[in-house]
Amino acid sequence: MSYPAEMRESLAKVEASRPRRMTETFPKLSPEERDSLLHTFHPDYISEAFRELRVGPNKGGRAPLELVNVLEASPTLIQEGCDLDDLLRQEPDAVCDVLVIGGGGAGASAALLAQENGADALICTKLRFGDANTMMAQGGIQAADKENDSPAVHYLDVMGGGGFVCDPDLVEALVMDAPKVIAWLESLGVKFVLDTWVGKDITIDGMLDGEFDAVFLGTGAGVGNEMGIEGEELEGVHSATDFLVRGNLPPEQLPAHLREPLPRLQNVVVIGGGDTSMDCVRTAIRLGVRNVSCVYRRTEAEMPGRAEERKNAREEGVRFEMLTLPVRIIGDENGRVKAVECQRMELGEPDESGRRRPVAVKGSEFMVPADAVVIAIGYGADPLVPQTTQGLQSDRKALIKVDHRGRTTRRGVFAGGDNVNGADLVVTALAAGRTAAEAIAAYLETLPPRPRR
């Protein structure tokens, strides 16, 4: 299967810049330089790059010309509120053998190889079409500066104009040409259903009992980890991703459950010490928050993120509370967060990671005022997937158990990528998708022919 010429040209841009991007530290862009690049390359910032859709389920909505051309020429992408059963009843051509849940590297790879092997595939993703610029291009976004960068910061660079750096040629390749990737996938027969969340909107049990012979799970590890302390359910407590997208993107570009703007905030506490936590504290500063604190249970020497990000955060006014562990989030009478109770720590013996284990200092509790708390302590797999699927085994972190071919403990269900391995490289997810797709093809051959309508 070969790429069309325009996609090969885009890939060449990414490949050509990779050696330099992996070794060079790019200077921080000033707001003026960033705005200039965004208004030059990003369709969201160019008024003449938009027009209204004339056909399809999104008729009347404004979108970049590239998206309009794709949607009007091939309107098989179904927006939010989709009923899969209704889709399959009304559109005989949409009958598929394999349901691929997740549109990242593993999911797209599995769908492509399933098509190669003669199985019709339908990609179902909780992303909307506007967010699909990340599909099959997220690997480039993740490598936009350093190999260990948070994908969230570069996603915001491209989509929301964050305060950080992306290579201009890379931005042009990913943002301007990503719709061609979607069109290419559709031209190969891959179909899409969007804004649909497995475990909430659909279940794997229901899909296997209906029109699909096999399901591939490529749901990734995009669910923010929780602290497991009292008060995490209070209003004003956010996961890192939710806070970042609500703080950087306009409501119309967000899923329905994230469209309510953040309130005016005075005291924001961010828990965590990685690059994503730096994204959060710097976003809070840009939102005009007066007091922004980063709380971390070890010393700065043990912080996993980049020193440059912490330096920039300090320069912008962020306060760091090192050797500090949040033990409780306190709410007011209306159920809204008002403070975080913390405890001072000291470092003991090294743990399994090689870092010295933090040990609580008795009697050192203190309060930090907060009208918003952001939990940025890493990402994990979505526990809803195994919780709502009979016979699907996972570990305590909700990572799905598979064999060497990507087969799960539930017949007809396959998985690969970050929801199996934990957060890992995009190339690993791509390889897992291909491995599972080969197993899916072999599995489909064991089934009796299914009549097509």
* Cα three-residue angle 248-252-258, rounded to 5 degrees: 65
Question: 30 phi and psi, to 5 degrees?
Answer: -75, 160
Rounded distance, CA 58 to CA 426, Å? 31
CATH number for the segment(s) 5-222+381-445: 3.50.50.60
pLDDT at 106 over 80: no
Residues 27-50: tens digit of each pLDDT: 677 778 777 777 776 656 667 767
pLDDT at 24 over 80: no
pLDDT at 336 over 90: yes
Residue 411's pLDDT is 93
**Summary mean pLDDT of the chain:** 76
- Name the more confident of 385 and 130: 385
Task: Reply yes or no on domain 226-377 having CATH 3.30.1440.10.
Answer: no
Query: What pTM value is reported for the model?
Result: 0.60
Range list for CATH 3.50.50.60 in the chain: 5-222+381-445, 226-377
- Highest mean pLDDT of the ranges 81-85, 143-147, 288-292: 288-292
- Name the more confident of 401 and 207: 401
Question: What value does the mean pLDDT take over residues 221-235?
Answer: 90
- Name the more confident of 186 and 270: 270
- Name the more confident of 182 and 259: 259
C-alpha distances out from residue 297 to 300, 387, 453, Å: 9, 31, 59
Question: What value does the mean pLDDT take over residues 104-130?
Answer: 71
Q: Which two tokens stand for residue 202?
A: 């659909």
pLDDT at 412 over 90: yes
Residue with tokens 């939990």: 375
Residues 189-215: tens digit of each pLDDT: 777 776 677 888 888 988 888 778 899
Residue 358's pLDDT is 92
Residue 67's pLDDT is 57
Q: How confident is the model at residue 222 (pLDDT cuts 50, 70, 90)?
A: confident
- Are 365 and 379 a contacting pair, CB within 8 Å? no
Rounded distance, CA 135 to CA 145, Å? 19
- Name the more confident of 46 and 306: 306
- Highest mean pLDDT of the ranges 134-138, 146-150, 339-343: 339-343
Residue 325's pLDDT is 96
Residues 162-186: tens digit of each pLDDT: 334 444 454 444 444 555 556 666 7
Percent of the residues in the chain that have a pLDDT greater than 90, as a whole number: 30
